[in-house]
Copies of this chain bind each other. A is one copy, B any other.
Amino acid sequence: MTEVDRKRLCRRAAILKSLAHPSRLHIIELLETKPRCVGELTEAVGADITTVSKHLSVMKRVGLVRDEKHGTYSEYSLTCKCVTQLVDCIEESMAQTPYDVGCAVRQ
């Protein structure tokens, strides 16, 4: 296991971690349609705006989303279609390995 390999695995893990949350997946799906500002996403997700803002900053840090300022608004969008592909890959995996997740909602 070289240093390069270790870095690569860490980076993959960071990307996965930034996606591994129901609200964040929800946000990704919303952004697939079109760019949105934080307020819109907050309303759809149903959490505090500060929470959503932090979710977005995590995903921005790993490069999944990008933001563009328009006045007081921050418009977030996906950096590339490959994010959508990635999520679709999960969907396929799910189809083939069915199981039940104990999924408690924490607000």
Copies in the complex: 2
Closest residue to A11 on the B side, CB-wise? B101
Q: Chain A: how many interface residues by the 8 Å CB criterion?
A: 46
List, in ascending order, chain B residues with CB within 8 A of A86's CB: 86, 89-90, 92-93
Point out the residue from B17, B61, B96 that lies within 8 Å of A99, measured CB to CB: B61
| Proximity bits, A67-102, B CB within 8 Å = 1, else 0 | 000000000000110110111011111101111010
List, in ascending order, chain B residues with CB within 8 A of A44's CB: 1
Q: How far is the CA of A51 from the CA of B72 in the complex (A)?
A: 47
Q: How far is the CA of A1 from the CA of B28 in the complex (A)?
A: 14
Closest residue to A87 on the B side, CB-wise? B12
